[in-house]
Each structure stands twice: as C-alpha cells, then as structure tokens.
Chains A and B, each alone.
Chain A
Amino acid sequence: MANLIKIAGRNLFRYKRRTLLSLSLIVIGVLFVTGFMAVTGSFKGMMIGQITDSFVGHMQIHRKGYLAAVENLPLTMNLKPGAVRKAEAVLKAMPEIEAYSKRIKFGGMFSNFTETTNIRLNGVDPEMEAKTVPLLLSRVLEGDKALKKGEIFVPELLAKGMKVKVGDMVVVIATNRDGSVNGKQLRVGAILESATGPGGRDGYVHMDDAMEILRMEAPEISEIALRVKDFGRLHEVFGTLKANLSGELNKQGKPVFDVHTWEKISPFYHIARMIDMMTLFVKIMLVAIVLISIMNVMIMAVYERVREIGTIAAIGTLPRKILAMFLLEGLLMGAIGAVIGSILSGAAIYAIQAARISFDFGRQTGLILAPTIDPAALLTISGIVIGVSILASLQPALKAARMDPIEALGHV
C-alpha cells in the first residue's frame, strides 16, 4: 500500500503546476469554510449565550397557552401555587437542571412624578434569578447589583427617556387580575443595559413587591426560567422535562404545563438557523470546488496517460487495481488539501483570536470576535473533502480501469 501511495503521489506531482493550482483551490475552500464556520459559530454561540444567560434562560415553563398570549402578559394565565409546587418538585428531582427562577411578569405604568410611561416588569427572587441567568447582573450599568425589596431595576432606554437615576423614587402602577389598580413607590436600585430580543428591555422588581403591587396572597407565576448544567444536552433534558411534566393535567384533562427551549422564545433562533443555512451553502460550495478541481485533474491524468494505462493493463494489472490506483490519486489530493487547509485554518483562527476584533450587534457594542472550531467539525470538513475527492475520481478511474489495453497501447 505504501508503494501505491508513493506512486500516486508521484503521479499527482507529474504536472506540478496543475496539481498545485487545484490543490490551492481545495485549500482555499477548506480555509473559507472553516473560517466561516468558526466566525459565525462564535457569533452564534456568543449571541445565544447572551440571550440565554442574561434574560431568557435555557428553557421556560409556562401554563399551557401562555406563550401565545405573552405580548399581553396575561395575569389570568399564570400558574397557580399548586401547579408551581408540582413543577418545582419535578425540577428538583432532575439533576440535569442547574437552577430555575420563578417570575411574575406584568405590565404597568412607570411614573417619575412628572411623566408616566409603560413598563414591562419581572417580579423575581434575585438569588434564583442570578443563578438562572448569570449574565443579568453584568447588565447593570449603574447602581448596586443586588436587587432589594422596595427597589426597581430600570432598563437603560426607559431611564434615559424618563430622566431617572439610581436612587430616584418612582411609582409603578399595575392592574391586577381582578381589574383593581394598585401602585407602589420604589427606589431605582440600578440601571440595566438593554439586551437584544424580547424581554431584553424589561425592568426587574423583587417578587414580594410584584405580589404587593398585584395584590397576590400567594405567588402566581407567569414563567419558570431554567438553566441546564450541560447546554449541549439541552434537547435531551428538554425531552425528559416535557415527559416528566406531561402527567400534570387540568380538570379538562389537558396538560397544565408548556415547556419551551430558548429557540421557541427568542427570534434570534431564526438568525441562528439562517447562519446554519449559510454554513450549509458554503459547504456545498466547498463540495463543488473539490469536485470540479479533482475531476479536472483526474480526467486530464487519464487522458494524458492512456498508453501508460495500456501498458500496466497489458502486464497484468487487474482492472480493479487500476481503479484503486486512480482513486488513490484523487483521495491523496483531497487528503493533502484537507490537511493543509485545516492547518492554515487553525492558524487563521488563532490569528483572528489574537487580533481581538470587536463588533456591535443591536445595542450591544464592543463584542469580541472569538472564533473557535470544534475538532469534530474540522474532521467532518476533512471527511467531506476526502469523500468528494474519491467521488470525483470515480468516473476517470472507471474509465481507466475499463480501457481496452490494445486501444490504449495504440493511443498516440
């Protein structure tokens, strides 16, 4: 086998310029695909991390049908204390869940005693919320990061619009589920940086304050946000959780709970899908580049070596061996291209990381581009290149293997 590889290598470099040109195309293709995957993957990962870790969480549990009406923040569709207890029991029994946070979401009026505007608020247990969405506190631009009773975290845009600062007193007025209006004076504890996506411009109050404003005797929860220990196993955990909660039925015999991953909740998922689609198209381009490059080299190789093929066939080389020899040439070219491309990709990714290129996305500025490529993805790309190389060599190799030795020997 080593001899056949050696011969294949020499045959490949018989026409150095042509082979190097085709090889460089493959290398550029691999470089482009891995570069694209690393950069977009990094962007995607960072954005998903931002969204899930700063306000959405990895998953959310709602009362069935709540999410469809979430724009109105309907208090009538909150989970009753009994249902919340059942959900918590399930969550505590699942070691895959790292943390969860109960939220009372409601809409109200925000007044600085001079002006009034609308606000969307989350009533949370600060400790549970920080464990579930650990980047929330990193969004605090001004003020104390600990949310205390009697305080409100105001989103940046609203604070600017209403000209409120940390320490100012404001009033939040809301209508509860029975239609009664109630208000409470709160101190601005912190100004929160806005985040991209729904919920990214919500304010936060303590759960007890939310209950007081909404005149709840016991917490009626709008959603339970969850954080899993291993994000890579999100869908597996989602399936288990959904199955575990499916046994809870209401009086009509219908499920009480609805579970969604962040993908159903955040519109960024569609951007992520679009990135995946673009990656797929880039991969298809790579396949086309490899296919055309190697086919070109191998077709020419067969065309230029007809007499040689006739000779090796005449001396007794089996057709399948001739086929294998030409396939080996294509495979070798693909493998060399994949290896060089992978090495250069690694170097390029390292260089981009070292350059610490920053970019803006939505209202988030100064995000650092930190491209990484999973070795498994690199192996997959190399596998695709090598597989396509063999495929591209197949037709020329078959032609060589089927060649009639007499005709081939007589070729001029």
Chain B
Amino acid sequence: MELIIGQDLSKVYHSGGVPVNALKGVSFSIEKGAFVSFVGPSGSGKTTLLNLIGCLDKPSGGRLLVAGMDVSALGKTDAAVFRGTHIGFIFQSFNLIPILTAYENVEYPLIVVQNIPAPGRRKQVEELLAAVGMSDQRNKRPDQLSGGQKQRVAIARALVTHPDLVLADEPTANLDHNTAMNILSLMKKIRDELETTFVFSTHDTRIIGEAEVIFRIEDGVLKTNGNNGGRDNG
C-alpha cells in the first residue's frame, strides 16, 4: 500500500528575481513501512523534496499525496495539523529544545501538538525512551548528551505522536560513522516494530547502503530508483 505518491512534482524558487528549478517533474511512490533514502549531492533537490513531503512547503506543480491526503494545496494551519498527526521529523542538528530534559523533549509534541493529558503521555514517552535506549539519560538536558544520544532522543520525539511517516534530513551528518550506523539500525528496528515509514536524505556514501529503497536525485531530476534488497518498493 502506497503511503506517498508524487506525480510530476516541480518546485521553482526565485532567487534574486531569477527562477531556480529545484525539482523538475519528479514522480515516485513510497510504500507504507518502507525504509527509503533520497540520495544526491548538495543542491540536488533532496531537502526540497523532503520539505514537500513533510508539508513544510508547497510544490509549484504536480500532485503529492501523503497518507491518502492531497497535501499540495494545504494551508499553513492545515499543514501544521497534518504534520502533527501524520509526520515525525528528525533533523541533522538534532534540534532538541535546550531547556528541556530528554524526557521533556520527547514529551513536548504530546503537550503542544496533541494536547494529551499527563497520565497518557508518561507511558508513551517512557516506552519510546526505552526503545531508543535512553531511559537512563531521561533527566539530562541536550548539552549533557553526546551527538548519538541527542539523535536517539530526536528519534523518540519524532515517533511519540505515532506518525505514519518519519522524515529525516541528513540524520547522520553530524555523527561519526559508528554512531551513524547505530542510529540507522535503531531507525530500522523501530520501523520493524512500529511499521512506521522512514524517509531520509543523505549524501553520505557510507550509509546509503542501509536504505532498502534508494532514490537518486541530480539537478532536481529523479535519476534512478530501486530496491536495495530487503523490502520492496512499489
């Protein structure tokens, strides 16, 4: 079953009055539960595509369906509601809130996005902290955690709202190789347990092989896509 369908997607930016075609008629589909990577050099359009899938931006042309919803024309508030319900985000620089502990960072979306009462929150947060192996670090603030630990907390935060899809833009760019591999293994393990679709972008050749489906982008054009073993891509 396809979770994401992109049809002839294009995105034009205007930089100093000059149009820049960041995406040029990109079409693809991603199945539910897939572990997908968009690969390409800097400036190829990976992040632009992830922004579109994440409803952070709107395509200039084409059609984009995410979890059965045409997200191409969602307004600002509707897009925020959609993100809060269906999408989790993992960032390259972790983007944890520095004044909150690991526990509170994971709890944060349940408070401000989903308004879940305290008793309901505790079980979810504790389960996810255990799943990412951060239960014993729960009371530490981000500045007391290593890069790998921060990203584990970020993964737990992305998953705490039970999203259909987790988007990760260069999730391992700020991590050493071993930690990066551990993080990807953790993401895969969670995908297997929760059936959450993971889509990440990377230009790190060392971790590309970890994806089960790889889309290569160059100059805003999807060059190839295909299975990388493991699970199928539609």
* Least CB distance, A14 to chain B, in whole angstroms: 5
Q: Residue-by-residue, is A73-94 near B (CB-CB < 8 Å gives 1, otherwise 0)? A: 0000000000000000000000
- State whether B112 touches A317 (Cβ < 8 A): yes
- State whether B112 touches A319 (Cβ < 8 A): no
Task: Say which residue of B80, B95, B112, B161 sits within 8 Å of A325 (CB atoms).
Answer: B112
A308 part of interface (Cβ distance < 8 Å) = yes
The residue on B at minimum CB distance from A14 is B99
A351 part of interface (Cβ distance < 8 Å) = no
Interface of A is mostly: helix
A4 and B57 CA atoms in complex are apart in Å by: 28
* Least CB distance, A201 to chain B, in whole angstroms: 69
A266 part of interface (Cβ distance < 8 Å) = no
A198 and B52 CA atoms in complex are apart in Å by: 82
Contacts of A7 in B (CB 8 A): 99-100, 111
Contacts of A316 in B (CB 8 A): 80-85, 87, 109, 113, 161
Contacts of A325 in B (CB 8 A): 112
Contacts of B118 in A (CB 8 A): 3
- State whether B57 touches A308 (Cβ < 8 A): no
* Least CB distance, B119 to chain A, in whole angstroms: 13
Q: Residue-by-residue, is B57-86 near A (CB-CB < 8 Å gives 1, otherwise 0)? A: 100000000000000000011001111110
- State whether B81 touches A318 (Cβ < 8 A): yes
* Least CB distance, A369 to chain B, in whole angstroms: 46
* Least CB distance, A356 to chain B, in whole angstroms: 48
A405 part of interface (Cβ distance < 8 Å) = yes
With contacts A10-B99, A325-B112, A406-B51 taken as known, whether A318 is within 8 angstroms of B91 at the C-beta atoms is no
- State whether A317 touches B56 (Cβ < 8 A): no
B97 part of interface (Cβ distance < 8 Å) = yes
* Highest count of chain B CB atoms <10 Å: which of A308, A313, A315, A406: A315
- State whether A405 touches B56 (Cβ < 8 A): yes
Contacts of A4 in B (CB 8 A): 111-112
B157 part of interface (Cβ distance < 8 Å) = yes
CB proximity to A under 8 Å, residues B80-128: 80-85, 87-89, 91, 93, 95, 97-100, 108-109, 111-113, 118
B220 part of interface (Cβ distance < 8 Å) = no
The residue on B at minimum CB distance from A310 is B95
Q: Residue-by-residue, is A202-235 near B (CB-CB < 8 Å gives 1, otherwise 0)? A: 0000000000000000000000000000000000
- State whether A318 touches B83 (Cβ < 8 A): no
A160 part of interface (Cβ distance < 8 Å) = no
- State whether A406 touches B77 (Cβ < 8 A): no
* Least CB distance, A10 to chain B, in whole angstroms: 4
* Least CB distance, A158 to chain B, in whole angstroms: 75
The residue on B at minimum CB distance from A6 is B104
A196 part of interface (Cβ distance < 8 Å) = no
A260 and B192 CA atoms in complex are apart in Å by: 89
Residues of A at the B interface (CB closer than 8 Å) are: 3-4, 7, 10-11, 14, 307-308, 310-321, 325, 405-406, 409
A selection of 11 A-B contacts at a CB cut-off of 8 Å is: A3-B111, A10-B99, A10-B100, A307-B93, A311-B91, A312-B108, A316-B84, A316-B87, A316-B109, A319-B77, A325-B112
List 8 other contacts, CB 8 Å, given A312-B108, A317-B112: A7-B99, A10-B100, A310-B95, A311-B89, A311-B95, A315-B83, A316-B87, A318-B81
